[in-house]
Amino acid sequence: MDILNSLFYFIVAIGILVSFHEFGHFWVARKVGVKVLRFSIGFGKVLWLHQSSPESTEYVISAIPLGGYVKMVDEREGEVKPEDLPYAFNRQPLWARTAIVAAGPIFNLILAVFFFWCVFIIGETGMRPVVAAPEPGTLAAQAGFEEGDEILSVNNETTPTWTEAISQVFEQTMTGAKKLEFEVKNNEGFEVERIVLLPEGAIEDTKSFYNKMGLKPWSPTIPPVIGKLLPNGAAAEAGLQSGDILLQADDEKIDDWMQWVNYVQARPGQPIKLLIERDGVRLNVTVTPKEITTKDGRTIGRIGASVKIPEQLIESLRVSYSLDPIQAIPKAFEKTWFYSISTLEMMGKMLIGKASVQNLSGPISIAQYAGESAEMGLVPFLKYLALISVSLGILNLLPIPVLDGGHLLFFAIEAVKGNPVSEKVQIFFQQLGLLMLLSLMMLAMFLDVERLFQ
């Protein structure tokens, strides 16, 4: 079901983003007087076709939903009827051809602005940005962060939730900030400043930067009460139930949930004698944690049970915020601009070896993110759509032949030299560009499969 869920939302996402991208090409082509023969969502076998008259545009949905295309009248692609020659793409002035090609990526960026705008006006519910005690030696520890500090702003940007706080940390760092000025409220209720000085080349990949920064969410002491159970987990097989209170493990008193988690993880495959309380009655239960291998190769124990978090604790940490439609407009543009620049910077760093290729995501990862974000709700899914739309727009603007940016590069050369680049040269570089893209896709697929097995 998870696979089907991810596949469904992946197709929905790609369908929306590709449709809008191709609509950009289509709309501008029609506006500048180019005749469009076919507007297709997807490739391959035609599943649905609509054409109001023999001379009008065919609207098509095809079997492979991983792209689309707009087919225009063009003498380079076949014979054109004499009456259609004035409407051929290749006969249009340079500015018109440039506008048509650039429209697809630009429409993706416009769509990203719209999605971010929706996110801001719908609003989000998140956890207050309260930090845990930072590990010694991390940037947060050096800046004087203490357990319980609540982040109010980062470089004067308000951060109402943990997600916003961490996003601002990454955004400010990616845009070249030399230091991060945090306004925080400490345990005594006073507002103080914490300054993090960023080292050169702070971000190589997101995971290492997160660990180097040392900002992690505060975890309150949670009573050891069983919440949800996995159907085939060790806890369910041992007869544990939701609401059971854990009192002792092998005669050791259990005071909080994290103590219990650490106890279980340290005992893979070893029977644990539990004393629990259920509906006021004390019971003895034996549970044997199943062996799980982590990504870093460690073997830990797991029983397949989550904690039941008290509702009042959740409410004390929960915060909601939103913007009015007018305030949300500049914020949406700022977000789109930031992620556009960040995408380019990350691509550049990967190209020169200053960032890990692990930052690449292939279709499997993108599909997984689609399913996960959709399960989390409308706002996370809209954020996902916005980010993928930015990536699609920026990727297509790269000066690689076969992409829109490659065509724009040829047009730029044409503007300088006064006549089009020869068809032979274009074909050669398009083949080279195709080889580059296929190599990149194969690397992304390899990384996806590697993550899947991990």
Which amino acids are annotated catalytic?
22
The structure tokens listed for 289 are 């944690």
Secondary structure letter of residue 56 according to DSSP: S
Among 312, 327, 314, residue whose Cα is nearest residue 158: 327
- What's the distance, CA 442 to chain centroid? 20
Element (H, E) at 222: none
User: Which residues lie below 8 Å from residue 73, measured CB to CB, with a gap of 6+?
Assistant: 34, 35, 36, 37, 80, 84, 87, 88, 89
Concatenate the DSSP letters of all residues of 239-284 into one string: T--TTPEEEEETTEE--SHHHHHHHHHT-TT--EEEEEEETTEEEE
Q: Which amino acid is at 300?
A: I
Cβ–Cβ < 8 Å for 247, 282? yes
**How is the beta sheet containing 252-253 ordered, strand by strand?**
252-253, 245-249, 272-278, 281-287
Q: Is 2 helix (H, G, I), strand (E, B) or coil?
A: helix
Exposed e or buried b for every residue in 73-94, given b needs 16+ CB within 10 A?
Answer: bbeeeeebeeeeeebbbebbee
